[in-house]
Amino acid sequence: MSVELPEPIQKAFDATNAADSDGFVAAFAEDGFINDWGRQLNGSAGIASWNQTDNIGKQASWEALSIEEQSPGQYLVSIKTGGNGYNGVSPFVFTLAHDKIHSMVISAG
């Protein structure tokens, strides 16, 4: 079963799975942020840092298992992550703004 994702989220998935760091950062708004279990990284520099320590820098792969629109522009995506870092399923909440990801929040679920 294939999960259809909004384009900005799909871009982050495609970049992660292709090990395209520039593409991953470009999927986010310049003032966007990632919150990974309470650790928040802001702006393009923060997102690039997280990408290197927790995502593409760990040869991560992402598979979308499900998606639920929580409110307009906000999506809960269940993601199965593989690679040389965290491996398992986590809920990611993406908030979109102007065809980019404004925030990506990862929690225990």
Looking up residue 51, the CATH number of its domain turns out to be 3.10.450.50
User: Which is it for strands 39-42 and 61-71: parallel, antiparallel or unpaired?
Assistant: unpaired
| Residues, the chain | 109
pLDDT at 105: 98
pLDDT at 82: 96
DSSP-based three-state secondary structure for 106: strand
Residue 55 lies in a domain: yes
Model confidence pTM above 0.85? yes
> Taking the CA of residue 71 as centre, how many other CA atoms within 13 Å lie in the half-sphere pointing to its CB?
3
Residue 2 lies in a domain: no
DSSP run (H or E) holding 105: strand 100-106
Residue 15 lies in a domain: yes
**Backbone phi, psi, residue 60, to 5°:** -70, 155
Domain around 92: 7-106
What's the structural domain count of the chain? Answer: 1
Give the angle 9-69-3 at the CA atoms, nearest 5°: 55
pLDDT at 66: 98
Residue 1 lies in a domain: no
DSSP-based three-state secondary structure for 39: strand
Residue 19 lies in a domain: yes
Residue 25 lies in a domain: yes
Q: Which residues of the chain carry a pLDDT beneath 70?
A: 1, 109
